[in-house]
A and B are shown apart, each in its own frame.
Chain A
Amino acid sequence: MLEWLESQGHWGFIMAAYSIGAVALVADLIGQHLRQRELRRLVAERLARRRLQRSR
């Protein structure tokens, strides 16, 4: 893989560098989104369980 990269010349290194940046950015975006969803689900579940206990 490295040999392929090195055969691409300068623009190969440039593109590799910027794709690392893009991957980091996307990972941050998706990570925050997924965590938001999971937290919302957890809080909602806890509230629902509590309401169920209260209604009994």
Chain B
Amino acid sequence: MNRFWTWLSRYASPPVFYRVAGLWRPWLGWSALLFGALSLYWGLFHAPEDYYQGNSYRIIYLHVPSAWMSMFAYVAMALSGAAALIWRTKLSELTVLTIAPIGAGFTAVTLLTGMLWGRPTWGAYWVWDARLTSELVLLFLYLGVIGLASAYGDVRRGARAAAVLSLVGVVNLPIIHFSVQWWNTLHQGETVRLFGESSIDASMAWPLLGAALASKLYFGWSLLGRLRLALIEQESEKAWVHQALGLEEQAHA
């Protein structure tokens, strides 16, 4: 256990993390591209047409993975927020700040693609469907975290405030989800089911899983890249940053 903590704290030190993240990034990026391209090609051109929805269901290969990622990112943000409040490492604080805009981006993409799917499926761009509504509330939660963090002048204090808010949000998220579902059954009798009672066909499901994997890999790629930039910005006075940016030789000359 002790060895685990020393291992972890070693990776939490900015120069080591910067280097290791730089090593991981190409792998994450290229595998995301590979999985994404393959599953989108399969999903768009090879998977059969849906009996009820025709071709428009093919939006799920973008919509559903980004919806999953919007929730996943919020939980990841809250976890790193907990870590930031417990251990107060710079890296976990910056992780909170870095995940928030990525998660908000996934949420926005989910909402927009959901609207584009809604038009051919429900006949309207916006329907107060339970999942779309909770996704909209989630977007506001992300905007609150981003706004709070940027309102503080000091980055680290802003990050810790955002960490508290993300923890409060993650406790409330299932409650919001449940209440919106309950509200939806109260107000609307019947909505078009996106998936019927039966499970979807395997030839439709495999590209979906592939796209979900690709979105996870892309999230990792984007997170590591943004974290590296945030570390450069925060530690711009340190010698390791100058070395990493290739400015050290000039400094000696």
Contact = CB atoms under 8 A, between A and B. Distances in A.
Contact of A6 (B55, B119, B222): B119
Nearest to A40: B245
Given A39-B232, A39-B233, A42-B236, A17 B59 contact: yes
Interface residues of B, number: 34
Contacts of A32: 222, 225-226, 229
Interface of B: 40, 44, 54-56, 58-59, 62-63, 66, 102, 105, 108-109, 112-113, 116-117, 119-120, 218, 222, 225-226, 229, 232-233, 236, 241-242, 245, 247, 250-251
A13 B119 contact: yes
Interface of A: 6, 10-11, 13-14, 16-18, 20-21, 24-25, 28, 32, 35-36, 39-40, 42-44, 46-48, 51
Contacts of A13: 56, 59, 116-117, 119-120
A40 B233 CA distance: 9
B105 A28 contact: yes
9 contacts: A17-B116, A18-B44, A32-B222, A39-B245, A43-B247, A44-B250, A47-B242, A47-B250, A48-B250
Contacts of B247: 40, 43-44, 47
Nearest to A51: B251
A43 to B, nearest CB: 5
Given A13-B117, A32-B226, A32-B229, A43 B236 contact: yes
